[in-house]
Chains A and B, each alone.
Chain A
């Protein structure tokens, strides 16, 4: 089972370490983790995607709640939320495959954001499954490097 935890924390040094340490110490999985400030600079939002059985997923929430630097935790399934991941992916190209790459980008609604004589940088912002799909599609074309934000998610409006 997969679960998304949207965790509001005090924006202090060491908090990320405490949260990550909790996951490793108790053998909880982190499938992805994204951190950033919220509209309130004193508060950061961590979006953690984890998987496990029901008891584990419940323990994750309870153990997170014990951490004094954590303000609030919202948990939701993928179905109840809008989730996005931003990915930058750099590929090598040549005359022969440039069209193919552009076609893939078009189909995937990805954007070319930078280029040189031999490399292209592509940006995609989509659900995690589709960013993964783009990697698969580009694998045959020689990927140079990839950077991903990890999943960001919020519960659907009025949910």
Chain B
């Protein structure tokens, strides 16, 4: 057994079924060993998408996604994907090949200091110097990636270490990290304080972030909100914690969120931030949300508490444990008038759009799409106007809503949707992107064909980088600079080239039949919706 065999054995021991990657000489021992294993490898068409695909898989399975690429450019191409996962706290195991140990630091062919380059985007990284350390390192890596505040872990393995013999392989049962012990259980005194404030509060609200989904606390939070009739809003990453049409859900907050959600948060007298970073897109003026209200901030990462806003009650721990502990407290609270007010806001403050009838209205289209999708479907929104429309009009029932919220990485949707489909093969998976983002990852259509991954793709085509055009519209009075996507391919021909069925919708008439055909396709399908190039999300 050599180092590469040991890595594969460790992956098998962790229950890994799939690895996304792209080989090169420095990772070839790994890809040689994988041939005689139970692990399926997916050849992605560019390394960045390997990390995105692993991210999609991780988000639907709750287990770290694994990607493996070669040294140098393979590793540096992976960086954007790692940073994207880091920003959204998605657990990944990123294995990179590296040049021969003896040549490290001498700038030989395809050498890049990837552990150095990735330092600020990884939860932890290893440069493996001894093949016998592989079992311990792999065990630690999986533990670090998927506990506490989750995130990507990078393992850089020189080719000679992959080829070196490993004696007495055994996969450790436990990790022994004296420096890493994340707080799971919330402090009892703090929990009591929160409950005491809830009993006093007249206008309490919970703001659910992506941390709720990462800790698997959705059910606990939902039941708590239902039992005590506490209204819930969410950040973009928290979409899906509550079904969109749940009576106690009052939409996404933030500068691209619902006006009634922001109003609800502002008028509350007690705000429970659960697994949310209080970053600029959700809360543009963090100091304001501490005015006239009790702010409870719950997060598994103590550094997030007090970073952007100083809370009244800080509470460190895993959200699932904490909401279970909340549930155990006996208390009563009464704020029906507040719930009623919020229901009125929700009814009366719905944004009004004036869609151009000559085109597909993205809002109405995406709403209809989500209504027709399966209950537990996975919806992956890309970045740009399509993302904001998705957040605003997609209806989550029992499924998932995935997007790159923290980093806002264009091109995320197609590879992430592939990963999600491979991670949850029984689920319907739909990716929605603009024509800009589509062209950043359209090479993955080949991956979908090669590995028979059934992802349904909607491209909202407006011939512009719409979000930037919208920004230039407002900020530079329509002086458009470098946002025109002329020269884009004919998507029908492109679909034909990849052997995919294609549907084009140019106006809302015919949307029903088009959607039925789209969702009825067994395999992958590409649908183009021509939308008004001048349409705005605001």
Contacts and interface: CB of A to CB of B under 8 A. Distances in A.
A68 interface: yes
A14 B302 CA distance: 24
B178 to A, nearest CB: 7
Q: How large is the interface on B (under 10, 10 to 19, 20 to 34, 35 or more residues)?
A: 10 to 19
Interface string A65-83: 1101111000000000000
Given A14-B115, A55-B310, A68-B144, A21 B120 contact: yes
Interface in A1-54: 10, 14, 17-18, 21-22, 25
Given A68-B124, A68-B179, A71-B178, A62 B116 contact: no
B64 to A, nearest CB: 16
A19 B144 CA distance: 19
Contacts of A14: 115-116, 127
A58 interface: yes
B119 A18 contact: yes
Interface in B301-325: 301-303, 306-307, 310
B120 A25 contact: yes
Most buried by A among B120, B127, B179: B179
B303 A62 contact: yes
B474 interface: no
Contact of A63 (B127, B179, B180, B303): B303
A63 B301 CA distance: 10
A149 interface: no
Most buried by B among A59, A66, A71: A66
Q: How large is the interface on A (under 10, 10 to 19, 20 to 34, 35 or more residues)?
A: 10 to 19
Contacts of A10: 179
B307 A59 contact: yes
A59 B302 CA distance: 9
A45 to B, nearest CB: 14
Nearest to B310: A55
A18 B115 CA distance: 10
Interface string B449-484: 000000000000000000000000000000000000
A75 to B, nearest CB: 14
A18 B122 CA distance: 11
Contact of A66 (B177, B301, B310): B301
Contacts of B124: 68
B128 to A, nearest CB: 13
A10 B180 CA distance: 12
Most buried by B among A17, A62, A69, A70: A62
B115 A59 contact: no
A21 B117 CA distance: 11
Interface in B468-521: none
A62 B183 CA distance: 13
A55 B180 contact: no
A62 B316 CA distance: 12
Nearest to A14: B115
A98 B123 CA distance: 57
30 contacts: A10-B179, A14-B115, A14-B116, A14-B127, A17-B119, A21-B120, A22-B120, A25-B120, A55-B310, A58-B306, A59-B306, A59-B307, A62-B302, A62-B303, A62-B306, A62-B307, A63-B303, A65-B302, A65-B303, A66-B301, A66-B303, A68-B123, A68-B124, A68-B144, A68-B177, A68-B179, A68-B180, A69-B179, A70-B179, A71-B178
Given A59-B307, A68-B144, A68-B180, 5 more contacts: A14-B116, A14-B127, A22-B120, A59-B303, A69-B179
